[in-house]
Structure 1
Amino acid sequence: ELDGLSCLLNFLKSMDYETSESRIHTSVIGCIKALMNNSQGRAHVLAHPESINIISQSLRTENIKTKIAVLEILGAVCLVPDGHKKVLQAMLHYQVYAAERTRFQTLLNELDRSMGRYRDEVNLKTAIMSFINAVLNAGAGEDNLEFRLHLRYEFLMLGIQPVIDKLRGHENSTLDRHLDFFEMVRNEDDLELAKRFDLIHIDTKSASQMFELIKKRLKHTDAYPYLLSILQHCLQMPYKRSGGNFQQWQLLDRILQQMVLQDERGDDPDIAPLENFNVKNIIKMLVNENEVKQWRDQAEKFRKDHAELMSRLEKKERECETKTQEKDEMMKTLNKMKDKLQKESLELRQTRDQMNDLVAQLNEFSRIHGTIWNEIDDLKAFKVLDLEDFEKMFSAYQRHQKEMGSTEDLYLSTRKVKELSVIDGRRAQNCVILLSKLKLSNEEIRQAILKMDEQEDLAKDMLEQLLKFVPEKSDTDLLEEHKHEIERMARADRFLFEMSRIDHYQQRLQALFFKKKFPERLAEAKPKVEAILLASKELIRSKRLRQLLEVVLAFGNYMNKGQRGSAYGFKVSSLNKIADTKSSIDRNITLLHYLIMIFEKNYPDILDIQSELQHLPEAAKVNLVELEKEVNNIKTGLKAVEAELDYQKRRVWESGDRFVPVMSDFITVASFSFSELEDLLNEARDKVRIPFEVFEVSLAQSKA
């Protein structure tokens, strides 16, 4: 009767910043929460046209208790009939109110943000996860798989999965239950979606796999020509690297969302992205069009083409099978030769260790065909030489040797053709060690690099090591001279030779390594920038800090009275000297101890200064120069990838080369993510100057 709800909502709607951060704000939200604990009050709140929207605005406060109460209210409304849609509407309203880039962005930022107190942090993150689970599984989410997949994808695009993995580190049973529930429902939904395609799992991060599934499902159906038409028109859509035309793709995305989610009555479980768009009515209009017959005729033509292609495919498969058999036979032969060579190599090694330099020269000459060394037969010399005396005179290591057999055996093992190696020995050895860790053949490595490691065969650390073994020009020149002897090449030599055949091999590796490291580097830099930004704001806003400085200034002026006059202020750096100023009565007591006693007695509120400067300790650890250097390095890396992408677009693509499509997608996403980081850093630079100007500028030491 007194319309108290409207009074509360009007208060929330019109309060200023200081009020929003006060206990009054928390109390008002508590009143609304209490009102909703009974059916009559709840109905009254839900009947108000703006109530849920206004309540959602309170998420912008920094007060954790207020945020938790708001999330509990919104989560409860999700469970009420017709309340779920109101909450989704409220989150869209909050997106505009808080100038969010996307819906739920603030929630994900809060979920990922670190705070001072463990209990407050865990309570808030638990409330957020509880709300997310309610939004996903209540209302339309109870029995609508499409809706759950649609809304969950929105959270996944905001990066909720790595945040969930990070939250596991809190080791809180209540929070873990909410995390487990989120992942359990997600796994069940993914499994249910996969069952529709008779699969165990669908990689929704892979555009190629999803396209193949759609293609497989629609092939030989009347819908297939329309899929081709959609793809053809997508190809014709304008493309700008700056992303200026993303709204057209956004429109296409929203049309598809509404087609999937809209029920038979034309109702949308989520807020309709397009007004007056009734899927059912539009489909009815299309069914009767004469174009259906034309597409059927074209589908028949496609079937005939498909039959012809299948025939050609079967022929190629038979050829591949034959080639595979031939390859297996050759591998058996090569393995036998390898075993034989290893055995002979073992016999030779004992002598070679002792005459390293001379034998190395002999081996080097033995590799050169068409020279005088192929015409010389040193068997005659072996028959007359005193090898024991020679061995004693020139042995690299004076140690007892096993018997080598006859002179002729020594000659045969010396003359045996060994592996061809032109690469520096130590470098070749390290390269072989790396290849053994990779456990991939040269061809598998080559294919992984060409396909930009879409199968995740190459780990980041392995890529970093591979960059150390990029063929140099001198290596390439030597290897090219012996390319006709590729079968005799040592493992490292052959690897470097085959990798040198890949166009811009080094640039590809660098681009791939940058792509894999990019998320990690971004995840390390962004919290540091945010810490500086938030700490700068906290320093300016902190009332307790101003009061503390006021007390210190008063004591300082009192101590210096009659000597330097009355100071207007002091350098903040001089606060470090407070602990060095000792009492003349008790040398164990410093000015710092005394100040704390004064604060406890007269200014107890100052002792809670940490609550106003929560991000300061984290920001203090950040080296701004190093941070700016890292951001510039990321920017330079992005430009290098873009330059290589331009080069790859201009050349003729090799079969199986996936550089352009993979790196185009990466550049699109990475450029956007980096621009956010860069904007944040620029804002942090501007904000951090303010506290420096306020606190660090040399102040006048005395009055005129």
Structure 2
Amino acid sequence: RKEVAEMAKTRMKQLQWDKLSAQHAAETVWSKATVDEQRITEIMKKEGFFEEMEEDFKAKQVARRATAATKKDKIELKTHLSLQTRQGIEMVLLRVKSNLTKAKHATPEEVAHDIVNCNESILDQGFLSELLRHYPESETKGQLGEYRNASNEALRLLHPADRLVVLLMTVPHLKEKVQGLLYLTKYRETYDLIKEGAAKIREGAEAIMKAGNFARLLNIILMMGNFLNSTGVQGGAFGFKISSINKLVDTKASDGTTLLHFVERTVSKCFPEIESFLEELDAPSEACRVQLLDLKRDLAELKSGSFQHKKELDRFLDENEENLNDPYAKLMLPFLREASSELSRLSDQVQYTERIYGDALKYFGEGPDPKRRGFPAPQLMRTEDFFGIFKEFIAAYKKIKMDNVRIGEQRQIEAKRRAAAEEKEKERQEALARKEAGVDDSLVLETLLGNLRQSGGTPKNKRKARERRSAAKENVNASPTPMDGNPSDLAAAMLAKLQGGQ
């Protein structure tokens, strides 16, 4: 091994070369070159190249493995929780970031502090739901009861999940508080969904009852339906349930199209202004995404939750007057007071929406039949089904409209093709008639071209040509059969027709 004048102080990145032995290098450029290595080394050292190289090419330092003592401490951490519960609590801890050390995850002590003080960091649906799901039962908590008053050193020997449970065991009414905080985090989102959903149903129902052009379209469909059903028991109808409009595609015409194709053609040709009904049905189409029964159920759950948590909070406050200063009480008292007022107004809105929706059902024939008054009322059609009727009809109508455009274009092409074929057949029949009359088309054409060439001569020739044309006209008028005669006379007659204005 060759002696090196300067050596790096730390581990460096390695140059991957093929090293030569002393014997091998003796016959190479490395031994024949006259280089003063000592002088080069001094210059590089003076200029600081070695320090720069050491900084630039320093190898990445591998983190030291945990010592045996650390492993031993980790193994000795005590736990009284089941594996599933411990893993669940660990996932809960991972959901909270540290606000003190800016670490990625908070310690059990920080999480317990945030829960007690109802800090914003723990006001998360996922965190609170997981905590409720994995918080151990009384039996397991009893095993950890001996650590209630344990020193910090003793607590550090516990697994972090066990440590969090021990810290939370000292919080009075913990489960009720976590449930209340979970209700608070869910409340605003659920409230907004109910309010927006009720507004969509209400707007959809009101819009469909005010849709004048759609009402005109329904009357056209009623008239057509009564015409088709005039000879059957379904004829003479005063109206029909709105769900029937999507059955128009089931009535087929002889050419493969449907009654809806016929309706669209009629509207486009005779009543184009009615087609604005497509815009009138935009709001009802949006309302089909909302289910009124779900809104009523969610509203009932919000009202029940508000009542239950208010009851729990009152019991907590009755235990001790100082509980008024508890962070949970300070947060929940004004919230529940405001929620009670909001839910009362929202309940009125949902009831009004239900009434408007019932009016829309009745308006379009889907309400209870007056003839069956006294019988048990059938269950109301679901909002998603009712408004879905209009969405389905819009989609079908737009598709049928494109079909009719395509069919119309095809019919125009076919009509032109038939007209061309008929014209060709007519010419063939005329040629056949001339042939049967003994007229040679080639002689007629040749005579006609010759006369046309001669028509451009002297005034005397032009005068004679006019005289010949006059004579030809008289002969043509006098002759009952234009096809009779020689080719010259026939050509003269044809020329007279072409130059009749001269």
Alignment partners' CA distance in 1, 2:148 and 2:328: 27
Distance 1:581 1:546 in 2: 21
After superposition, what is the alpha-carbon deviation per residue over 1:370-390, rounded to whole angstroms, capped at 9, x for unaligned?
A: xxxxxxxxxxxxxxxxxxxxx
* Rounded Cα–Cα distance in structure 1 between residues aligned with 2:251 and 2:370: 23
Match of 1:450 in 2: 116
Query: Does the 8 A contact of 2:362 with 2:368 survive in 1?
Result: no
Tell me: CA distance 1:699–1:472, structure 2 relative to 1, closer, same or farther (3 Å): closer
CA distance in 1, matches of 2:148, 2:368: 72
Matches within 5 A, 1:131-150: none
2:249 alignment counterpart: 579
Residue type of the alignment partner of 2:84:
R
Q: 1:683 aligned to 338, 348, 352, which one?
A: 352
Preserved contact between residue 568 and residue 699 of structure 1 (Cα < 8 Å) = no
Kept in 2, the 8 Å contact 1:578–1:591? The answer is yes
Q: How many residues get paired?
A: 291
Out of 420, 435, 457, the position equivalent to 2:78 is: 420
1:377-423 Cα deviation digits (max 9, x unpaired)? xxxxxxxxxxxxxxxxxxxxxxxxxxxxxxxxxxxxxxxxx222111
Can you list the C-alpha shifts for 1:442-462, whole angstroms capped at 9, x where unaligned? 333233223222x44543322
Identify which of 329, 332, 335 aligns with 1:660: 329
Q: Pick the aligned partner of 2:310 from 639, 642, 663.
A: 642
C-alpha distance 451-343 of structure 1, shift in aligned 2 (>3 A): closer
Given the superposition, is the C-alpha separation of residues 698 and 672 from structure 1 closer, same or farther in structure 2, using an over 3 Å criterion? closer
**What corresponds to 2:341 in structure 1?**
672
Find the aligned partners of 1:339 and 1:516 in 2 and give their Cα distance. Answer: 44
What amino acid is aligned across from residue 460 of structure 1 in structure 2? Q
* 1:581-596 alignment runs, 5 A limit: 581-584=251-254, 586-587=255-256, 589-596=257-264
Cα drift, residue 655 of structure 1: 9.9
Correspondence 1:410-559 to 2 at 5 A:
418-438=76-96, 439-453=105-119, 455-481=120-146, 483=148, 487=155, 488-559=157-228
Q: Distance in 2 between matches of 1:676 and 1:520?
A: 17
Structure 1's 524 and 492: CA in aligned 2 closer, same or farther, altered over 3 A? Answer: same
SS at match of 1:615: helix
Q: Which residue of 1 aligns with 2:453?
A: none
In 2, distance between residues paired with 1:651 and 1:674? 28
Matches of residues 95-244 of structure 1 in structure 2 within 5 Å?
A: none
Equivalent residue, structure 2, for 1:123:
none
1:67-103 per-position Cα deviation (integer Å, ceiling 9, x unaligned)? xxxxxxxxxxxxxxxxxxxxxxxxxxxxxxxxxxxxx
- Output the CA distance in 2 between the equivalents of 1:635 and 1:560: 52
* Cα drift, residue 528 of structure 1: 0.8
Structure-2 residue corresponding to 1:91: none
**Which whole-Å CA distance do the structure 2 matches of 1:343 and 1:698 have between them?**
76
Matches within 5 A, 1:341-380: 342-344=70-72
Q: Supply the distance in 1 between the matched residues of 2:226 and 2:332 (Cα, whole angstroms).
A: 64
Q: Which one of 609, 616, 621 corresponds to residue 284 of structure 2?
A: 616
CA shift, 1:545, in A, is 2.3
Give the residue type in structure 2 aligned to 1:668.
R
Report the Cα distance in structure 2 between the residues aligned to 1:484 and 1:635, rounded to whole angstroms: 40
* Cα separation, 2, equivalents of 1:477 and 1:506: 16
Whole-Å separation in 1 of the counterparts to 2:285 and 2:136? 47
TM-score, normalised to structure 2's length? 0.54
Superposed displacement of residue 500, structure 1? 1.9
User: How many angstroms apart in 2 are the aligned matches of 1:520 and 1:543?
Assistant: 36
What is the CA distance between 1:666 and its match in structure 2? 0.8
Distance 1:567 1:664, change over 3 A: same
Residue 654 of structure 1 deviates from its aligned partner by 5.9
Q: How does 1:554-569 map to 2 (within 5 A)?
A: 554-564=223-233, 565-569=235-239
Q: Which has the higher contact order (CA 8 A, sep 6+)?
A: 2
Contact 2:249 2:260 in 1 (8 A): yes
State the AA in 2 paired with 1:446: A
- Cα distance in 1 between the residues matched to 2:312 and 2:276: 54
Contact 2:80 2:144 in 1 (8 A): yes
Q: How does 1:252-401 map to 2 (within 5 A)?
A: 342-344=70-72
Unpaired runs of at least 5, structure 1: 1-337, 349-417
Change in CA separation of 1:628 and 1:654 when aligned onto 2, cut-off 3 Å: closer
- Structure-2 separation of matches of 1:600 and 1:549: 15
**Which structure is larger by alpha-carbon Rg, 1 or 2?**
2
- 1:683–1:598 distance in 2 versus 1, CA, 3 Å: same
SS in 2 for 1:622: coil
Label 1:458 to 1:694 Cα distance change in 2 as closer, same or farther (>3 A). Answer: closer
| TM-fit CA distance, 1:699 | 6.9
- 1:634 is displaced (CA, Å) by 1.5
Residue 502 of structure 1, CA deviation:
0.9
Shift of 1:484: 5.9
Which residue of 1 is the match for residue 455 of structure 2?
none
Which residues of 2 match residues 46-57 of structure 1 at below 5 A?
none
- Distance in structure 1 (CA, Å) of the matches to 2:306 and 2:231: 62
Q: 2:261, 2:171 → 1: CA distance?
A: 69
- What SS class does the counterpart of residue 693 from structure 1 fall into? helix
Contact 2:124 2:182 in 1 (8 A): no
For the 8 Å contact 1:511–1:641, the answer to whether it is kept is: yes
Post-superposition offset of 1:344: 2.0
Q: Is the 8 A contact 2:123 2:181 kept in 1?
A: no
Partner of 2:439: none
Q: Does structure 2 retain, via aligned residues, the 8 Å contact 1:460–1:516?
A: yes
RMSD: 2.6
For 2:108 and 2:73, the matched residues in 1 are separated by 24
C-alpha spacing 1:691/1:433, structure 2 compared with 1 (3 Å): closer
The one-letter code matched in structure 1 to 2:250 is D
CA 1:461–1:492: 2 relative to 1, 3 Å:
same
Amino acid aligned to 1:442: P
Q: Is the alpha carbon distance of 1:420 and 1:483 closer, same or farther for their aligned partners in structure 2, counting shifts above 3 Å? A: farther
Change (3 A) 1:676 1:561: same
Amino acid at match of 1:477: G
The amino acid that maps onto 1:520 is E
Letter in 2 for 1:499: L
Q: Is contact 2:147–2:166 with CA below 8 Å preserved after alignment?
A: no
Distance in 2 (CA, whole Å) between partners of 1:580 and 1:611 is 25
- CA distance in structure 2 between the partners assigned to 1:445 and 1:656 by the alignment: 20
